[in-house]
Amino acid sequence: MTNTKDNKVEEVKESEEISKAFAAVAGVRKEVDKLSERIAALEVAVNSGTKVTDEEFVVPAELLMRELLKLDGIGAEGEARLQRKAEVRRIQKYHETLDKLKTINSNPFSDKHKAVSVTTNWETFDS
């Protein structure tokens, strides 16, 4: 009888941890969604030839890194872990977009179709 009770308590604890992980990932996703709008606006500005200050690239990049650190602190298993990984990839993609836009912005007279693409080789950690 005690063993069954212990198993139920353990299941409830695991369920609570999974729920917390889902909620934490959802919170990060919400913040990244806000940043994605900012990045999209930068993309429109840069692609239309508008000169943008470096700070407008640095701030969203730093905010993305903060969200990445939040994700790193989330202990997750199963589906929550997959969602966390997907959000990490999404943040990395936005960061690469910022890098490309910054490159284009720094040399607005270059032919955008011949611009060199710089990509980041992200190191991944399984937790």
pLDDT in tens, 84-118: 999 999 999 999 999 999 999 988 565 555 555 56
93 in a structural domain? yes
**19 domain-assigned:** yes
Cα distance between residue 18 and residue 12, in whole Å = 10
**Domain-embedded: residue 32:** yes
Number of domains in the chain: 1
> What's the pLDDT band for 125 if we cut at 50, 70, 90?
confident
Q: Which domain holds residue 90?
A: 8-106
With DSSP H G I counted as helix, E B as strand and the rest as coil, what are the percentages for the chain, rounded to 5? 75, 0, 25
We report the CATH number of the domain holding residue 39 as: 1.20.58.120
pTM: 0.75
Q: What is the pLDDT of residues 8-61, one digit of tens each?
A: 767 767 788 888 999 999 999 999 999 999 999 999 999 998 999 999 999 999
Residue 1 lies in a domain: no
In a domain, 97, yes or no: yes
- Buried-exposed string 14-36: b where 16+ CB fall within 10 A, e elsewhere: eeeebeebbebbeebbeebeebb
Residues 61-92: pLDDT tens digits? 999 999 999 999 998 888 889 999 999 999 99
Give the pLDDT confidence score for residue 2 in this predicted structure. 57
For residue 124, the model assigns a pLDDT of: 72
Q: What backbone phi and psi angles, to 5 degrees, belong to 36?
A: -65, -35
